[in-house]
């Protein structure tokens, strides 16, 4: 090997040095580097898993939010329907009360008008009776009555009725 320019002890020393360097690098550089790469890979995998978990939780929360929003919309529609029904009920009660009051007012007005008519009839009967008595007295006091006197008595009766 000397002829090739390679000395055997030097080659063996170089091989031993290379193996020692390889063992040192493997022990102090390669293993920590691989451990660090594996740790980084593990952290990335965990981060991706966490990101997927967060995405799933966000999707679940969004679904829950949409359910709550739909429930709130339904509740609002039901509240509007209840308020509409309640206002319609109140309106009907008010209309019924107003109709009842109008009927009472009409009945009272009819009763008052009937009372006034009866009172007027009573007064008219009293006046007719009084005038009849007065005419009778005049006829009896004056004797027989002619047509002219009769017309005068009727005119006087009508003017007395108008004044009363």
Task: Tell if the pTM clears 0.75, that is, is over it.
Answer: no
pLDDT over 70 percentage in the chain: 84
Over residues 4-49, the pLDDT tens digits come to: 777 888 889 999 999 999 999 888 888 888 899 999 999 999 999 9
Among residues 137, 138, 133, the alpha carbon closest in space to that of 152 is found at: 138
What is the pLDDT confidence band of residue 155, given thresholds at 50, 70 and 90?
confident
* Both structure tokens of 81: 């329907």
User: Residue 60 to residues 49, 50, 63, 69: CA-CA distances in angstroms?
Assistant: 16, 15, 5, 14
Quote the longest CA-to-CA distance of the chain: 198
- What are the residue boundaries of the structural domains of the chain, listed by start? 2-118
């Amino acid at each position: 090997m000397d002829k090739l320019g390679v000395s055997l002890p030097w080659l063996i020393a170089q091989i031993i040095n290379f193996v020692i360097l390889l063992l040192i690098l493997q022990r102090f550089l390669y293993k920590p580097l691989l451990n660090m790469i594996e740790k980084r890979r593990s952290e990335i995998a965990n981060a991706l898993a966490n990101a997927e978990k967060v995405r799933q939780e966000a999707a679940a929360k969004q679904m829950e939010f949409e359910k709550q929003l739909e429930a709130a919309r339904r509740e609002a529609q039901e509240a509007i329907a209840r308020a509409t029904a309640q206002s319609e009920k109140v309106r009907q009660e008010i209309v019924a009360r107003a109709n009842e009051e109008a009927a009472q007012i009409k009945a009272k007005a009819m009763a008052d008008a009937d009372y006034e008519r009866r009172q007027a009839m009573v007064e008219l009967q009293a006046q007719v009776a009084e005038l009849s008595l007065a005419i009778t007295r005049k006829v009896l006091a004056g004797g027989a009555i002619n047509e002219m006197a009769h017309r005068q008595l009727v005119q006087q009766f009508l003017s007395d009725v108008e004044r009363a």
